[in-house]
Amino acid sequence: MELAVTKSGAVCVVAVRGSIDGSTAAQLQQEFAAHVTGQYAQLVIDCSALDYTSSAGLRVLLAGMKDTRRLGGDLRLAAVQGAVHKVLDLSGFTGILKIYPDVQAAVDSYAG
Amino acid sequence: MTDAPSRDATRSAVADREGRLTVIASPDNLPRLLALVDDVCRDSGVAPDVAFAAQLAVDEICTNLIHHGYRGMSPGPIALAVAALDDRLVIRIVDRGHRFDPNDAPVPDVQAPIEQRQSGGLGCHLVRKVMDRIDYETTADGENRLTLVKFTRAPS
């Protein structure tokens, strides 16, 4: 799994490439911890190159959502692919987080 | 298992459509377990949704075993066998740790709002959702045997 972090104004975009499984979830957790601060509590996870996640990934996303919302921000997903969407669906996560078709739409959603 | 587990992974392909792997239950070995599932699915040409279900189920089960299965003991073995038969994919996972039947895990509330959402039980929930059969037994000498079955389409 590879991560690439970019900033778009006040929004922090984390692009995740590969798979979030039982062994790579910790790395994602660390990245969130490094970037979720009072200044960057608005996160977008770019899932366009994310092929797979297990519940370990969901756990990290859930914690990220709670942390950012506590700081007045949020964690939103962009460009979610088939298998990942299926896992989000099966676990009911599609009902609790916002998903956008692409990164720009997700970044724009924080404005206004 | 009657053999003492080896420190290194041992792997044999019994046929094109079956693979076996025994590793010690440690985080470093999860990628090897997942790679075996991937190899058997690719070699046998199962449909993508079957391969996905198998990957997810083995990931969830083995991650649980690695983090909780041998809690309080020195890490023991995880023996994985994946076989693609004519109409099904059969996955067997054997360990000698604490007994934990995925069928017994609490069902998470998948309708709960985020404030009440817990992440416990999600792994087993996903396994129950994507596999068609889940059977669990513990033998008299403490071997836990999990069998997962996913029905597939007829081979091309």
pLDDT at B116: 74
Among left, alpha and beta (phi > 0; psi -120 to 50; other), residue B142 is left
pLDDT of residue A22: 80
- Tokens linked to B12: 């044999």
Do A24 and A18 meet the contact criterion of CB atoms below 8 Å apart?
yes
Residue carrying the six token digits 């997942």:
B34
State the SS3 of chain A.
Answer: CEEEEEEECCEEEEEEEEEECCCCHHHHHHHHHHHCCCCCCEEEEECCCEEEECHHHHHHHHHHHHHHHHCCCEEEEECCCHHHHHHHHHCCHHHCCCEECCHHHHHHCCCC
The pLDDT of residue B13: 42
Q: How many Å apart are CA B65 and CA B34, to the nearest integer?
A: 14
**pLDDT for position B84:** 94
What average pLDDT does this structure show over B47-63?
95
- Which A positions 19-78 lie with beta carbon below 8 A of chain B? 21-23, 52, 54-56, 58-59, 62-63, 65-66, 69
- Residue B116 corresponds to which tokens in the numbers above? 């009440």
**Whether residue B64 has pLDDT greater than 60:** yes
Q: In which residue are the tokens 């984390």 written?
A: A14
Confidence band for B12, pLDDT divided at 50, 70 and 90: very low
Q: What percentage of chain B exceeds 70 in pLDDT? A: 85
Q: Identify which of A65, A90, A95 has the shortest CB distance to residue B129.
A: A90
Q: Average pLDDT, stretch B82-99?
A: 95
* Mean pLDDT in residue range B12-35: 84
Distance from CA of A22 to the nearest CA of B (A): 6
Residues 6 or more apart from A21 whose CB is under 8 A from it?
A: A52, A53, A54, A56, A57, B30, B34, B59, B63
Q: In the prediction, which pLDDT does A112 show? A: 67
Specify the pLDDT at position B8. 42
Give this prediction's pTM. Answer: 0.86
Q: Token pair of B24, please? A: 């010690």
pLDDT of the residue at B119: 66
Residue B113 pLDDT class (50, 70, 90 cuts): confident
Nearest residue on chain B to A22, judged by CA atoms? B63
Q: Yes or no: say if B23 and B11 are a contact pair by the CB < 8 Å rule.
A: no
Least confident range from A50-54, A69-73, B14-18, B83-87: namely B14-18
Residue B92: strand, helix, or coil: strand
Within 10 Å of residue B44's Cβ, how many Cβ atoms? 21
Q: Does B66 sit within 8 Å of A22, measured CB to CB?
A: yes
Tell me B90's DSSP state.
E
Give CA angle at B54 (B3, B4), nearest 5°: 10
What mean pLDDT comes out for the span B45-74? 94
pLDDT at residue B110, as a whole number: 74
Whether residue A21 and residue B122 make contact (CB cut-off 8 A), yes or no, is: no
Task: Show the CA angle centred on residue A46, arms to residues B129 and A64, nearest 5°.
Answer: 70
Residues paired with B128 in a beta bridge: none
Chains A and B: how many Cβ contacts under 8 Å?
72
Each residue of B132-156: pLDDT tens digit? 999 999 999 999 999 999 998 654 4
B122 and A91: CB-CB below 8 Å? yes
Identify the three-state secondary structure at position B19. Answer: strand
How far is Cα B111 from Cα B114, in angstroms, rounded to an integer?
A: 9
How sure is the predictor about B7, in pLDDT bands with cuts at 50, 70 and 90?
very low
Distance from CA of B111 to the nearest CA of A (A): 6
CB contact B68 to A (< 8 Å): no
What's chain B's average pLDDT? Answer: 87
pLDDT tens-place string over residues A25-81: 989 998 888 877 767 899 999 999 999 999 999 999 999 999 999 999 999 999 999
